[in-house]
Amino acid sequence: MTDTVTRSNDTELVDGIYLEGDPISDSHAPGGDIAEMWTNRKFEGALVNPANRRKLSIIIVGTGLAGASAGATLGEAGYHVKSFCYQDSPRRAHSIAAQGGINAAKNYKGDGDSIHRLFYDTVKGGDYRSRETNVYRLAEVSVDIIDQCVAQGVPFARDYGGLLDNRSFGGVQVSRTFYARGQTGQQLLIGAYQALERQIAAGTVEMYSRHEMLELVVVDGKARGIIARDLVTGKIETHMADAVVLASGGYGNVFFLSTNAMGSNVTANWRAHRKGAYFANPCYTQIHPTCIPQSGDHQSKLTLMSESLRNDGRIWVPKKAEDCDKDPRELAEEDRDYYLERIYPSFGNLVPRDIASRQAKNMCDEGRGVGPAVDGVRRGVYLDFAAAIERMGEDAVRSKYGNLFDMYERITGENPYQVPMRIYPAVHYTMGGLWVDYDLQSTIPGLFVTGEANFSDHGANRLGASALMQGLADGYFVLPNTIRDYLAAGPFEAVAEDAPEVVAAQEAVQSRVDQFLSIDGTRSVDSYHKALGKIMWEKCGMERSDEGLREAIEEIRALRTDFWSNVKVLGTAEGLNQSLEKAGRVADFLELGELMCVDALHRRESCGGHFRAESQTEDGEALRHDDEFAYVAAWEWGGDDGAPVLHKEDLVYDFIELKQRSYK
Amino acid sequence: MKLALKIWRQDGPTDDGGMVRYDIDGVSEDSSFLEMLDLLNEQLIHSGEEPVAFDSDCREGICGACGVVINGEAHGPERTTTCQLHMRSFNDGDEIVIEPWRADAFPVIKDLCVDRSSFDRIIQAGGYVSVNTGSAPDANAVPVPKEHADRAFMAAECIGCGACVAACPNAAAMLFTGAKVTHLGELPQGQPERSARVLNMLDQHDAEGFGGCTNLGECTRACPKGIPLNVISQLNADYRRAGYGGSFDD
């Protein structure tokens, strides 16, 4: 895609905040029946003969499921791969923390599963805001992922016959989730990491750990390299290649408190966005209802507990605000409000993630939250197992949920067998990301984006056990086939390291680093990050309104201005400087946060993880507007002083009928 | 809580380094050990002193990035990762000594950060199954007996944090290496390379400067994932058989 925006000087800002550019007319999906598309695409794509592959080089940023699997696969194929991660080892990428499982349409249980059913469930789970063609392909290759991982030695759960076990997940009616206890992400990542290490040993992959990409190099309109900082020596390095792949994960840390790893950031994506890559659907954030609540201002992150707890726990808050600091065990049944059971009698405590999350926030906003007050508000609701313990016995509860109860006790210091657990929603996964076409190529030729870093497969929401699937699908199977078609046009003319575009990118990085160190203000980077997080959570979190989002945009702009004049970064550019690293990431979050609010403001509908207060049914449920908003919002960077430019890609459903959700 | 912290400060790999004392107040007992260090760093920044460098990432006990020696114990007084250790494990007024992992094969980068890339090189030496993408047979084509699958899983739980090395008086990485050898050795997929794997991984282990195992068991006591000492027995058994040209087919 090389759409350019026609901007005339007299174009008026829409809503006073953004411009509207040309629509995206083509996602480059092949035509024909959806079941044939991927096969056709692979056949039509040009090949690169093995002798030529070693002359072609690819940079991959990020070593999670999407990045490590792509690095391993492209290395095996014979390309020269340079792999980058900010962690000390590729094995630490945040995919490692994913717990639940990975979906695949294997139909090992013979319960009626199929590629088409996984495709259907995933499109529906994304609230009809994902691209049909990509999701079908995801379902199609899901089958191969399991084979690949098992062959690598990933120890999935097995039954006594020695065959793989499955479970059901996230309200799906078939058992298609493969799992490795509560550590599926860890085991899948270690599998991909080992495959990557094998290629490092073979010399096809060069690994650059403790390196952070700080700029994309675009030459003649094509992505040709990156500028990275060696986080140990502080050296600004230039790395050139024939193509660049971003597999750098999601941006949930814009909220400061999230379930993401501390280092997860948007910088690689944001730098590419500023160089011309469109950023799609940034406002789509999945919020998970069963996290351990914040206990105070000292807290740096939130910990997710399995959603399975809602199968047996009952969720409630006191009916009266004055009861909130009482011992919950002493509160009589008639003084408790089992609000989910009351409002949603048919689904009760098992309503979908977005509904459970929003209602918990409503209870706390009403002043009926429980647990320690943070900023004057108690943000927690009870998840009570007393009834389950009475019904099943403590031993049965322990065997089912023991590890989660232990983890809860370690973090909160409370024994959940005796006192009800407290839970609260937390930011978990971001469905937005850089816009990509069917080939996973961004609007910058030669720049490919995979996994959580792109926007393509999950729409406005994400089903459980589908993010791991997408990361590995992209890395093992999709990208290696599509990038080949691009690389076949090579060899590409070598770019000298003193080419003007390269020098400009180097200088931009250097001056940014120098600027952070020279501001010498009074506030720490973290204090800005926390302030941004509060704005985002309150006004662009579980529920968004026109008024709140407009306020948020103003507040973020003011915070950003203050940041650039008053941030305090100590130390030097040489050597390890973690404050400097954080400063760059937070600076980019401060820009992304505004775009998220702009995107949320323009989307005057509720869908999936995006609940717009003005768009709800009489019963307070999310109301989608397919006639107006069945499109991907892909934003073009409008310049430092300009407004973002919206390009719409219409979502066309040829193989699935659009329906409204109902959980009553 | 009010605490006295004695923290190892070292500017860079070639700097001598030394212990520096910091007094800190207002620590919540609900905060994690790393959040306590975050609080200290905020205070240091305000006073114009460079914050203490330490590694952490997921802060959920699974990525393996964090880890320091606390009062002489790897990851501190409880069997968990440093990020999951909470301040309620300490008392108001305590003095806490915080050092980086101590091992020649883990050189200090700065303050509490060490370089653990030696672990990656041990994996590069053979800690994988050689299978190219797209050529795998159906996942259920080879059944794996449940007890083998479970033991493989137990060993695969290693998060590569390095506590085993830091706890070992000999700075051996045998628990780490043994865990990988056991994980892959328990599975049919791991058999073809089983001999080469153990020989090459142990060669690399020694070349990195890790010491030999003396069966003290400090490693397994410090391991936040409870990897048992018997993975080292497995490592030794595999090594002996591989060294004698023995076969694993039986």
Least confident residue range of A343-352, B12-21, B24-33: A343-352
Q: Is the pLDDT of residue A302 over 50?
A: yes
What mean pLDDT value characterizes chain B? 96
What 3-state DSSP class applies to B218?
helix
Cβ atoms of residues A255 and A427 within 8 Å: yes
Q: Is the pLDDT of residue B249 over 80?
A: no
What is the structure's pLDDT at B212?
95
Task: Looking at the complex, report in whole angstroms how far the Cα of residue B214 sits from the nearest Cα belonging to chain A.
Answer: 28
Residue B93 touches chain A, beta carbons under 8 Å: no
Q: Do B145 and B47 share a structural domain? A: no
**Rounded Cα gap, residues A517 and A35, in angstroms:** 54
What is the structure's pLDDT at B250?
46
Task: Looking at the complex, report in whole angstroms how far the Cα of residue A42 sits from the nearest Cα belonging to chain B.
Answer: 14
Q: Do B146 and B94 share a structural domain? A: no
For residue B224, count other CB atoms closer than 10 A to its CB: 26
Q: Do B233 and B121 share a structural domain? A: yes
Q: Averaged over A501-515, what is the pLDDT?
A: 98
What is the structure's pLDDT at A660?
75
Q: What is the dihedral of CA B102, B106, B108, B113, to 10 degrees?
A: -90
What is the structure's pLDDT at A296?
85
Q: Positive or negative CA dihedral for A148, A152, A157, A159?
A: positive
Q: Do B149 and B89 share a structural domain? A: no
End-to-end CA distance of chain A: 42
B219 found inside a domain: yes
- Site of tokens 């047979």: B137
A213 φ/ψ angles, rounded to the nearest 5 degrees: -70, 125
User: Residue A550 contacts by C-beta under 8 Å, 6 or more apart in sequence?
Assistant: A601
Q: Do B88 and B33 share a structural domain? A: yes
Candidates A53, A69, A578, A586, partner chain B, best to mutate (most B CBs within 10 A): A578
Pick from A618, A617, A623, A587: nearest CA to A603: A623
Element (H, E) at A647: strand A645-650
The CA distances from residue A387 to A390, A408, A597, in Å, are 5, 19, 42
Q: Averaged over A396-412, what is the pLDDT?
A: 88
Interchain CB distance below 8 Å, B189 and A150: yes
Give per-residue burial for A210-234: e unless 16+ CB within 10 Å, then b: bbbbbbbbbbeebbbbbbbbbbbeb
Q: Averaged over A338-366, what is the pLDDT?
A: 89
What is the structure's pLDDT at A661?
66
CATH number at residue B150: 1.10.1060.10
Pick from B186, B87, B62: nearest CA to A188: B62
Q: Is the pLDDT of residue A35 over 70?
A: yes
Q: Averaged over A202-214, what is the pLDDT?
A: 98
Interface of B with A in 126-145 (CB under 8 A): 127-140, 143-145
B51 found inside a domain: yes
B64 found inside a domain: yes
Q: Is the pLDDT of residue A352 over 80?
A: no
Number of domains in chain B: 2
B48 found inside a domain: yes
Q: Do B183 and B95 share a structural domain? A: no
Q: Is the pLDDT of residue A279 over 90?
A: yes
User: Residue A548 contacts by C-beta under 8 Å, 6 or more apart in sequence?
Assistant: A538, A539, A540, A613
Pick from A100, A6, A377, A57: nearest CA to A205: A57
Interchain CB distance below 8 Å, A106 and B88: no
Band of residue A311 on the pLDDT scale cut at 50, 70, 90: confident
Residues on chain A touching B110 (C-beta within 8 angstroms): 575-576
B223 found inside a domain: yes
Say which of B32, B53, B127 has its CB closest to residue A194: B127
User: Residue A371 contacts by C-beta under 8 Å, 6 or more apart in sequence?
Assistant: A293, A295, A378, A379, A380, A422
- The secondary structure of residue A568, as a DSSP letter, is -
Q: Do B54 and B144 share a structural domain? A: no
For residue A623, count other CB atoms closer than 10 A to its CB: 18
Q: What is the pLDDT of residues A582-636, one digit of tens each?
A: 999 999 999 999 999 999 999 999 999 999 999 998 878 889 999 999 999 999 9
Q: Averaged over B41-53, what is the pLDDT?
A: 97
Residues on chain B touching A147 (C-beta within 8 angstroms): 136-139
Residues on chain A touching B1 (C-beta within 8 angstroms): none
Q: Is the pLDDT of residue A485 over 50?
A: yes
B189 found inside a domain: yes
Band of residue A4 on the pLDDT scale cut at 50, 70, 90: very low
User: Residue A342 contacts by C-beta under 8 Å, 6 or more apart in sequence?
Assistant: none
What is the structure's pLDDT at A374?
85
Give ∠ CA A297-A303-A309 in degrees, rounded to 5.
130
Residue B184 touches chain A, beta carbons under 8 Å: yes
End-to-end CA distance of chain B: 60
Q: Do B123 and B85 share a structural domain? A: no
Q: Does the active-site annotation cover A353?
A: yes
B248 found inside a domain: no
Interface of B with A in 4-43 (CB under 8 A): 11-12, 27-32, 34-36, 38-39, 42
B150 φ/ψ angles, rounded to the nearest 5 degrees: -65, -40
- Site of tokens 């190099």: A217
Q: Do B96 and B122 share a structural domain? A: no
What is the structure's pLDDT at A620?
80
User: Which of these is catalytic: A92, A314, A353, A379?
Assistant: A353
Interchain CB distance below 8 Å, A147 and B86: no
Q: Averaged over A178-198, what is the pLDDT?
A: 95
Indicate the burial class of A636 (C-beta count within 10 angstroms; 0-12, 13-18, 19 or more): buried
Say which of B123, B132, B136 has its CB closest to residue A147: B136
Q: Is the pLDDT of residue B236 over 90?
A: yes
User: Residue A258 contacts by C-beta under 8 Å, 6 or more apart in sequence?
Assistant: A252, A301, A302, A426, A427, A428
Assigned token pair, A649: 């890609």
Q: Positive or negative CA dihedral for A558, A561, A563, A566?
A: negative
Element (H, E) at B243: helix B230-243
Q: Is the pLDDT of residue A213 over 70?
A: yes
Interchain CB distance below 8 Å, A153 and B63: no
Interchain CB distance below 8 Å, A152 and B149: no
Domain that holds residue B82: 3-110
Indicate the burial class of A503 (C-beta count within 10 angstroms; 0-12, 13-18, 19 or more): middle
Cβ atoms of residues B27 and B39 within 8 Å: yes
Taking CA atoms, what residue in A is nearest to B184? A153
Q: What is the dihedral of CA A293, A297, A300, A305, to 10 degrees?
A: 0
What 3-state DSSP class applies to B221?
helix
SS (HEC) of A434-451: ECCCCCCECCCCCEEECH
Q: What is the pLDDT of residues B82-109, one digit of tens each?
A: 999 999 999 999 999 999 999 999 999 9
Element (H, E) at A594: helix A578-602
Cβ atoms of residues A304 and A426 within 8 Å: yes
What is the structure's pLDDT at A376?
87
Q: What is the pLDDT of residues B120-131, one digit of tens each?
A: 999 999 999 999
What is the structure's pLDDT at A1?
38
Determine what percent of chain A is predicted with pLDDT higher than 90. 84
Determine what percent of chain B is predicted with pLDDT higher than 90. 96
Q: What pairing do the DSSP bridges indicate for beta strands A336-337 and A373-374?
A: unpaired
Q: Is the pLDDT of residue A370 over 60?
A: yes
For residue A176, count other CB atoms closer than 10 A to its CB: 28
CATH number at residue B94: 3.10.20.30
What mean pLDDT value characterizes chain A? 94
For residue A328, count other CB atoms closer than 10 A to its CB: 18
Residues on chain B touching A566 (C-beta within 8 angstroms): none
Q: Is the pLDDT of residue A183 over 70?
A: yes
Q: Do B177 and B222 share a structural domain? A: yes
B101 found inside a domain: yes
Interchain CB distance below 8 Å, A198 and B11: no
Least confident residue range of A371-375, A434-438, A513-517, B223-227: A371-375
Determine what percent of chain A is predicted with pLDDT higher than 70. 98
In what order do the strands lie in the sheet containing B18-24? B18-24, B3-9, B95-99, B69-70, B73-74
Pick from B88, B2, B83, B81: nearest CA to B40: B2
Q: What is the pTM of this model?
A: 0.96
**Rounded Cα gap, residues B186 and B154, in angstroms:** 11
Q: What secondary structure does DSSP assign to A113-168, as a single string?
A: --HHHHHHHHHHHTTT-S-HHHHHHHHHHHHHHHHHHHHHT----B-TTSSBP-B-
Q: Averaged over B177-199, what is the pLDDT?
A: 97
Q: Do B106 and B121 share a structural domain? A: no
Q: Do B19 and B88 share a structural domain? A: yes
B200 φ/ψ angles, rounded to the nearest 5 degrees: -70, -40
Task: Looking at the complex, report in whole angstroms how far the Cα of residue A471 sits from the nearest Cα belonging to chain B.
Answer: 15
A37-44 helix and A479-487 helix, angle to the nearest 10 degrees: 30
Taking CA atoms, what residue in A is nearest to B191? A153
